[in-house]
Each structure stands twice: as C-alpha cells, then as structure tokens.
Structure 1
Amino acid sequence: MQVLVPFAAETPKTRLASVLSDRERSRFARTMLADVLAAIREAGHEPTVVATAPLAADGDPPIPDVPVTVDERPLTEAVDARLPAATDDPVAVIMADLALATPAALERLFAPDADVVIAPGRGGGTNALVVSHPDFRVDYHGASYRDHRRIAREVDATVETVDSFRLGTDVDEPADLVEVLLHGEGRAPSLLREFGFELATDDGRVAVTRSSAP
C-alpha cells in the first residue's frame, strides 16, 4: 500500500494567523506532519510526502527521512494523479494536520476490506481515505465526504466509513488547539506549550490562552 501525506509547504495554516506568527505556523505545521509520519510508520507503512514546494532539510523540526515529492497542483489533481490504476496497490491519503493521529487509529483506517475507506473530518471534509478501486477519483472541494460517497456509488465501488475522533480532528482554527493540548500524543502539544499556550476553563468551557503574543 502506498501512503501519501499531502503537505502545504508554503504559507501553511493561515487560519491560525491570529494566534501564531508566520514562523510559528511553519514550525507547528511541520511538527504535525512529523507526528503524522511517525504514526504511519508505527502502523507498519512507509509514507511519502506530497509537498507543494521543496522542504528544507534543515527546517525546524527536521522532517523524518521519508520520500518527498513536489507537486504544485491543487490537492485534488495531485492526489488523482497518484490513485491506483487497474493493477496498482491501494493508495492511502492521510492529511498532514491530523495532530491526534495514532498508530491504532490508522490501523482502523487500513483494516476494512472495501474499495474506498473514508475517515471524515468535521464539517463534511475528508481527512483520510484508502482507495483500491481503479475508477475512483477524489474531489476535495466543499463537502468532500458526501462527494466521495457519491463518486464511489457512480463507479460501483464499495465504501466503508471509519468513525474516528482522532482521524476526524484536523487542526485549522485556533479553537482546534484545545484538542491538541488535551489529546495529542506527539510533539505538537509540546510545541504549543513551548509557545506559551495552556488550557483555560474560566467560563465553564475549555479554551486556550497564551502567556505571550506571537
């Protein structure tokens, strides 16, 4: 099985700009990527990063020794170009911002015997999927989970949905940092604490505060 990890190497995580500086966003995005790659390897697979630009080998944090392919096309086109033809092995696509991903959660994704296996994200997105049907193609625009189920029906592919809190939590908005601090098991929560983030429950709901400005 090929395991692809798309990564937006340029201007990553722009929706976190209100709480993280440009440099911090880059470090945080690379740290989440490193955590996802480590979880994939611990689950028994070798990942390939599909990046929108070259990744500096001396970046912070360093990216593990994995193949990196540069593809400047939008996500849908870059993934479609790598999905299986009739004789190819299955292809898994795991997003790079799944900071809560663990080997056990990924093993649940890899286990089902279906033509298309989908781990949906919040809000209708697709955070991870495994494709073995030669006619299936992706569409990451809009409510992609719904669209991927429709596309699977159109090509007579069997579908299984993996209901996973860890794979369903992608980190895009400042509120998502709560989940990283509460449930993260990799380096991402440690980096947030280094930046000065901590949990706060003053209003009866869990939020994050920061001891210093970005």
Structure 2
Amino acid sequence: MDVLVPYAATRPKTRLAEVLNSAERESFSRAMLADVVDAVAETGAEPTVLATAPVELDAPVVVDDRPLSAAVNDRLTATSDPTDHDATDDERRDGDVATEATRRRREDDPTAIVMSDLAVATPRVLSRFLESSGDLVVAPGRGGGTNALVVRHPDFYVDYHGASYLDHLRIARSIGATVREFDSMRLSTDVDEPNDLVEVLLHTNGRARDWLLDAGFDVDSRDGRVGVQRER
C-alpha cells in the first residue's frame, strides 16, 4: 500500500514556539517525520513524503507547496486528467478529477495518509490500521482533526480545513462510502502543543524522544501533574 506522509517543511510546529525556537522546531519535526516514515516502512507499506519544500530523507519525497488538501487530492487521483474538458479549472488544479484508470487503481491498491507528527505511532498499530476494512478508514485526532486515513473509494477526496474529521465523514456519506473509525491512542496523539511532548517522552523510544532528551527535556511529575521540564 502507498502511504502519503504530509510534511510542512517551512516553519513547522509554530505552536511549539513557547518551548522551542525556530531551528529547534525544524530539527524536532524532522525527527518525528523520520520516526513516522520508519514505522510505516516496517509495516511493509511504501511511504512517500509529501513535503512543501525539499527534504533529505531515506524515502521518496514529492515536493508540493500547495495547501494540504489540494496536494493530497492530487496524489490520490494520481494527478487530474488535463484532457477532461468537463472539469473546472479549480478541479484540475486541486486534483479532484480522477480518470477511470485512476478509479480502478484506487479500488485495487488503496492509498493511506498518515500525518508526520504522529511520533508515538508504532508499526504494530499502523499495520492494524492499514489492514482495517472499509471504503474509508479514519483515525481521528483530538479536537476534530484527522490524523490518518485509508482511502479505497474512488470518489473520496480530503478536506483538511477546520473540523476535518466531521468533513471526511460527510464526504463519505455523500458518495455512499463505508466508514470504519479506528480508535487508537497512538494514532490520535499528534504533537502540536508543548504539553504533547510528554507523550513522546513516555510512549516512544525513537528519534523524537532522543531529540527531546538531548535538548534537556524530561518528564516533570511534581505537584501530581505530569508535564515536561527543560534543563537549560
């Protein structure tokens, strides 16, 4: 199975600015990306990084600086068909038009989308997720986001703006696609806020955890609350 791993290569993880400077956020986000790519590869799937700028990584990288939804939809349809004269300019640009060959290919060989900040994801959990049945398999994130998808229905497209979890359920209903929700702590935990760093320290042993330890972060459980502290 092909697995897209979207990655914002420029100014990543701005919500971590309270605890990490710009260079640190870039370095830490690359460590998380490498962990996710390794975890996907260990399942036997084929990861492709969909990055907004060039990234040096031991995996195929496709550079697309468009908004996330347009970039992913273009890959889902294996680029829109420029000979489709019934398509609008917006549909051609956003990759919402699939040829019949593309439709058949997606039914036979589904595509998954796994976000690059799922630093606590493991090959075991990802294997279960990728093998789950359904036209659409969705791993919701906290706060209404969508952290991972398996797309088997030829007419499905993504919409990552706002409460994308609800949007993806709506899109699935509109095209008659069956949906399976995948409930997993490891796939629902994306690392966006400073408090999320504790999950990386507690539940992983990969590059992202090593990066945090090297940067002086550790678990802080004083006053009965679990968080992170940093030695400067």
TM-score of Structure 1 vs Structure 2, range by shorter chain: over 0.9
Equivalent positions of 1:20-59 (< 5 A) are: 20-55=20-55, 57=56
CA-atom RMSD, angstroms?
0.9
Equivalent positions of 1:100-139 (< 5 A) are: 100-139=120-159
SS for the counterpart of 1:49 is strand
SS for the counterpart of 2:223 is coil
Deviation at residue 111 of structure 1 after TM alignment: 1.3
2:104 is aligned to 87
Q: For the residues of structure 1 that align with 2:115 and 2:205, how far apart are their CA atoms? A: 17
SS for the counterpart of 2:75 is coil
2:118 is aligned to 98
Q: Which amino acid aligns with 1:34?
A: A
SS for the counterpart of 1:192 is helix
Between 1:167-176 and 1:179-188, the stretch displaced more is: 179-188
Deviation at residue 185 of structure 1 after TM alignment: 2.7
Kindly provide the CA deviation profile for residues 1-26 of structure 1, in whole angstroms up to 9, marking residues without a partner as x: 21100000000111111101111111
SS for the counterpart of 1:87 is helix
- Alignment equivalent of 1:149, drawn from 142, 147, 169: 169
Q: Which amino acid aligns with 1:31?
A: A
SS for the counterpart of 1:134 is coil
Which 4+ residue blocks in structure 1 deviate beyond 2 angstroms? none
1:18 is aligned to 18
2:8 is aligned to 8
SS for the counterpart of 2:228 is strand
The reply to whether residue 164 of structure 1 matches residue 184 of structure 2 is yes
The reply to whether residue 70 of structure 1 matches residue 27 of structure 2 is no
CA contact (8 A) 1:108 1:162 kept: no
Aligned residue-pair number: 205
Q: Which runs of 5+ in 2 are unaligned?
A: 78-101
Deviation at residue 152 of structure 1 after TM alignment: 0.2
SS for the counterpart of 1:106 is helix
Larger C-alpha radius of gyration, 1 or 2?
2
TM-score by length of 2: 0.86
- Alignment equivalent of 2:215, drawn from 188, 195, 198: 195
SS for the counterpart of 1:15 is helix
Kindly provide the CA deviation profile for residues 134-187 of structure 1, in whole angstroms up to 9, marking residues without a partner as x: 111111011111110111010000000100100110000000001111112311
Deviation at residue 196 of structure 1 after TM alignment: 0.4
Q: For the residues of structure 1 that align with 2:63 and 2:76, how far apart are their CA atoms? A: 16
1:178 is aligned to 198
TM-score by length of 1: 0.93
- Looking at secondary structure, tell me which structure has more helix per residue: 2
Q: For the residues of structure 2 that align with 1:114 and 1:176, how far apart are their CA atoms? A: 30
Identical-residue share of aligned pairs (%): 61
Q: For the residues of structure 1 that align with 2:7 and 2:217, how far apart are their CA atoms? A: 24
1:205 is aligned to 225
SS for the counterpart of 1:81 is helix
Deviation at residue 192 of structure 1 after TM alignment: 0.2
Q: Which runs of 5+ in 1 are unaligned?
A: 58-62
